[in-house]
Structure 1
């Protein structure tokens, strides 16, 4: 038992250490990934590429697949984010995927899948990007690294929205929000609220959008993030404007302007805000005030180099000049708007062509990913086939060995056929004896039900009939005598039912014989007290010989049942004025409990059969007490279940000694 416990603790400890090691490995890879992003954004691209190419070649030269996989990913991230050589990035990622799958390195695979996501996101192929992000997310379930989980959830949130799966996108942002709340990360909480607000605003669910914007606004104020606070106020104002709540919209715009007025790093935000104010005044039919704000927005938008913001400003300026009747300027800004729109559209078309070309190149490489997956499945199939073939060979060798053994066995069987036949006959006889025992058990059971149980019930019926029908004609002494007889019948019936129930439970295996430490002397004393009244009715003395505690290991209830049955039996077959002695003696590796009486005794032929169920030995006691013979059978079964044995010594007219043993 101790060895098993030590083994379990050892295995458990190894598992814990292994999980901790994996957690550290994943944390280390995450730090590498974040550091790589920083290096890509700050370092010189050419120098970075040159260094990584040298590292890749060194890894190949020394045959270090793990290093080759990692450096391949680093080069792929550089090409995705800097050189835009997506075809090269795809080749590098496929090589990393091949290595990671062969080595079954789940941690490395997570970052390979992130690489594929970034690649497909670059060409706006969101469906493939989503597929790889989901693979990374599924692998991450086996580990615990909240920052990486947060990163993947954020990317999934944006990607699901891009693929039109708004519900899933909201679910991801809700997960981020829950994590930020539980971990008390206010910036992440505010950003998640803003993202949810943007989604609901785009879906025209303005009340929900306002609710999330206000939550974000509250957090941005608490963490003192003025630019994000102003952006939230601007967004809230725009929603109020869409809801025709002009006063609320204006109040939010003014509050945002107060925050950004002297902030030199918020040109784009200020330009957007002045555009919002200009839009508000146009809606309020006040083009002069609109124009004043839009003139402030124009240089800021130009300075921010945000072409879409500049285009928005041109459109609003054209509308404002038209509203005041200055058609020349209105036309000028309208033409500027169209020229910029044409430029942006051309740039967009050029980007689309480049993305289509990149997507075509990538899709050609996609077949290599499919081939890798097919190769993996094929390899698994081949391994399975090889395993089956080995199993087939093993089975064939085993069958040949079995056939040879059978031939040799048949040869031996032929030589010993007479001996086997004799053994078979003995076995059949033993089975017949067992069947006879089973039949005897069945007959005994039905005998008890049909006869022994019926007898006490008939007596009870007779006594109750006499009491009901002849009460007036019976004297007090006769009624008392009937009551005593009725009580005796009830006690006999109770004893019968109790033994029958115990025997039935034993036969069906419903009693669990679990050994406990028991005091045999105390058990004898307790049963003496239990049956003392019954003994007193016959003027019988019960004596417990030894008084010192005797500790043994046995099933308490079953041993108590044995003592009670044997003592009850002794009282039943002892004449008035008799004596019963009980005690425990020690013999080698067992204790022997003895219950002796000086009662009527029994012949030797009866004593040899009283523990057998196939013969019925129900004898009336000295006071005409009735019994079923089941009590002694139950005693034998309970003693043997406790690992002991029971026996009897008796002489007619001189008394009986019942003994049973319990192993120490």
Structure 2
């Protein structure tokens, strides 16, 4: 027995066209809801217009952007999947659909799309895994595609897999759906599918009545393709029954519908060409009218343009005169600022070079004493001189380190990344490096920062700030003094990191000058203490870059509190 021709190898949800615009309505709602998101809005617009390439471009721009919304991300993947599917790029479409999260409100449409792709690739087992959950949908969800198509596709998948027992109930349900709906074209397809099921099992008695029903119904429709399939099925049936005379009649009728279909296709092609020609002719007429209207508009508006030109020239003259005055004021202000910066630069070079020269000269003298002392083998004095050398070198190193960091900050070459930081551990690291210095001066240094205190700042710049503030605290604290590092949580947005010392303190005028933004370097209160003031200015710049606030509390002779307020969140 010959295998009969199956009317549709797989339907790919042939009833979908009934409600093809419903999802477009959902996309339009989503576009209106997120009008401010330009890329998603354009992707949705082009999807509705069936412009698949533009849909892919704008949906990708949205996915590559920042501030993503999970709902719009799912929609964007869905639009891309549909676009790739339309362009027959099945693997890409499958990847997009599988990127959608399970919370997508139209998750059942994803299964439908993945089933379609599997059917196109003849992966029938995979298609079944996507189709079976669609049987259990709520009735309202079937408005997006025909429920009967789910049963049809499941039946045909099992038929292709030669699992006739599982195919039969689905194809019977498919027939029942279409008999209730009285959809003649789909009913012909349903009869053909169930007939093929029985015919492939050699159940001719059950199959042939369905072939005959499909053939009789085909007489009442104008679809040449359906007529052609129903007729050739009957021809094959009669040939297998050895009734060649009837088979010949069906064959001739088949050829007739085949020719009619070809003729119809030619008519459609000619109609398409005629339509294109008519559109081109109409476009030429429109273009001619546009040119004519432009000429009339140009003639009519000539005088108006002349008047407007004079007004524009007058306005431009006034504008440029105003801008020239504004530019002169800006140049004057920039010149004053540049002069101030040059003065600051000269002051910086003068102080830094003086302090470096002082440090090098002090080191030179100390080394001379060290050589003489080594010769005399006075080990106690050697130890004192070595400690003195170490102090001088550390001071010079800190000065050069601050100068380098200040230069990197000014030229915007430093690496900077704000992250969440536990203050206790950063303070503990920096304090550890200063233990030899505080022990030498017998200073009691304590860190009572809470381990739970978390701020958002750049770690390396925060270390530089702490090093400079601790260095100043140690420098200005007398022997046997105290330095405390702790935090205050008095603000909902900031943690206050406090470095408090019992040192010499400062006058209020000095405190105000140190906090001023107009001075790069401050005058020294104590000429005996080496320092350029660059470290404190570097701290102020880095605190500002970390979105923090710097403040000072101090009284002369009563110590100082350096307070760095750092944000609790980005």
TM-score, normalised with respect to structure 2: 0.49
If asked which structure has higher relative contact order (CA below 8 Å, sep 6+), I would say 2
Tell which structure's C-alpha radius of gyration is larger: 1
TM-score, normalised with respect to structure 1: 0.44
Name the structure where helix makes up a greater proportion of residues: 1
